[in-house]
Structure 1
């Protein structure tokens, strides 16, 4: 686009071609003749999408994710995974500790996790999946009885 920086109309057209999905839909909702220069387009676009920037979360945020007493283990694991993805530059020890801390102490999974040394988050999730399978098998057995 640097080659065409003196041609506002061409810059606007090129800009429109690089937009995708929601941004492309947004561009087509602009009223006709509402943009007079590339600077106008840049300003309107920045105002529209600057509020959609994702906020970088620090690893200590994971300690706020707790298992809902009435919620399932599966829901907790899913929520924790979603929150963990939003953390930037985090070593493995903090998410693993936060995952364990978010579980109620009376849960069998919690007791198993505290007995393990140097447990990675992946291993914690694998153990949780095993518990989910056990719970599902127990439910199926009860239904069959």
Structure 2
């Protein structure tokens, strides 16, 4: 298009027809009339997708994380926290509910229901106390 000296307006209109998947989603979320030239559009596109940027998941993805019978609380927390990093705008109350829902039945889950923590920080603090107590008993 540059070789044919096509106008910016036409290049901007033709650009979205070449997009698929995440790139199309990114383009559809741009504020209308926020870009004046094709050069601006291409610069925003490159800066957004440079480095293999991935879209964030929803909190619904966390519902699949469960503490397996053969896995420790520590490994469940590690896996859960890793997934939370890929979530877009995670609400603390939802995180607490999903985390608690994924725990296997046992003393720690009972203690969470008994104390009813309101934030993930409280849950993780309680988990740390519980794991430290378990480690001390094993030692």
- TM-score greater than 0.5 by the shorter chain: yes
Deviation at 1:80, TM superposition (A): 0.8
What 5-or-longer segments of structure 2 have no aligned partner? 1-41
Q: Pairwise mapping of residues 71-86 of structure 1 onto structure 2 (< 5 A)?
A: 71-86=71-86
Larger Rg: 1
Deviation at 1:62, TM superposition (A): 1.3
Q: Deviations over 1:72-91 (max 9, x none)?
A: 11101111111111111121
Instruction: Work out whether 1:108 is the aligned partner of 2:107.
Output: yes
Instruction: Work out whether 1:120 is the aligned partner of 2:113.
Output: no
Query: 2:84·2:90 contact (CA, 8 Å) conserved in 1?
Result: no
TM-score of the superposition, structure 1-length normalised? Answer: 0.58
Identify the residue that residue 70 of structure 2 maps to in structure 1: 70
Identify the residue that residue 136 of structure 1 maps to in structure 2: 135
Q: How many corresponding residue pairs?
A: 93
What CA distance in whole angstroms lies between the structure 1 residues aligned with 2:50 and 2:69? 37
What CA distance in whole angstroms lies between the structure 2 residues aligned with 1:132 and 1:54? 33
Q: Deviations over 1:1-28 (max 9, x none)?
A: xxxxxxxxxxxxxxxxxxxxxxxxxxxx
What CA distance in whole angstroms lies between the structure 2 residues aligned with 1:132 and 1:86? 25
C-alpha distance 89-69 of structure 1, shift in aligned 2 (>3 A): same
Deviation at 1:96, TM superposition (A): 0.5
Give the superposed CA RMSD.
2.1
- Please identify runs of 4+ aligned residues in structure 1 that moved more than 4 A: none
Deviation at 1:51, TM superposition (A): 9.3
Identify the residue that residue 5 of structure 2 maps to in structure 1: none
Deviation at 1:50, TM superposition (A): 7.4
TM-score of the superposition, structure 2-length normalised? Answer: 0.60
Deviation at 1:111, TM superposition (A): 0.6
Deviation at 1:118, TM superposition (A): 5.2
